Structure 1
Amino acid sequence: MIKYILGFIIVLAILIVAITVGANNDQIITFNYIVAESQFQLSTLVAILFGFGLILGWFITGFFYLKLKLKNISLHRQIKRQNLQISELTSVREKTKAD
């Protein structure tokens, strides 16, 4: 439940920032990139770059989260195997003591 409330607050904050930036910046600027150049309103350019940065950040975060999740799964498997080995060794040890 807290995750949904936090997500809603983040989306609301992004919308408020986008509306504020868009309302105050209506100048036309020339944006030069490697291949060509275009003219944009400053608010449009800021919104595009902000959105691109947000998406890129989510992809990078998602990549590292997935990497850690997979490492966690492999470590849990390793723990299970080691616990099985320990239980097998202790049972063999108890059998040898009983004899």
Structure 2
Amino acid sequence: MFKYLLGLVIAIAVILVAITVGANNDQVITFNYIVAESDFKLSTLVAILFGLGLILGWLITGIFYLRIKIKNMTLARQIKRQTQQINELTSSLNKAA
């Protein structure tokens, strides 16, 4: 529950920052990129680049999170298998003694 509440607070903070930055920048600027050149309002360009950075950051974080979850599942499976082997060995030693 706390995770979702924290996510909601962060989302609201991001929206408020975007609105604050966008409201005060009405200048038109020329943005040069590799294949073309376009005129944008500064507020629009800041919002687009901020959004792309946010999405890219979440994607990279998600990739690392998934890698760690998969590694955790693999290690948990390995521990379960080894525990089962230890239990089998100790039971066979108890039967032999």
Tell me if TM exceeds 0.5.
yes
Residue pairs, 1:14-93, within 5 angstroms? 14-93=14-93
Compare 23-32 and 2-11 and name the one that shifted more.
Answer: 2-11
Which 4+ residue blocks in structure 1 deviate beyond 4 angstroms? none
Provide the identity percentage: 70
CA–CA distance in 2 between the matches of 1:93 and 1:60? Answer: 49
Deviation at 1:41, TM superposition (A): 0.5
Unaligned runs of 5+ in 1: none
Deviation at 1:2, TM superposition (A): 1.4
What TM-score, normalized by structure 1, do the two folds share?
A: 0.94
- CA-based RMSD of the aligned residues comes to 0.8
Q: Whose Rg is larger?
A: 1
Give the letter for the 2:17 counterpart.
V
What TM-score, normalized by structure 2, do the two folds share?
A: 0.96
Q: Indicate the SS of the match to 1:34.
A: coil
Deviation at 1:21, TM superposition (A): 0.6
Aligned residues: 97
Q: Indicate the SS of the match to 1:52.
A: helix
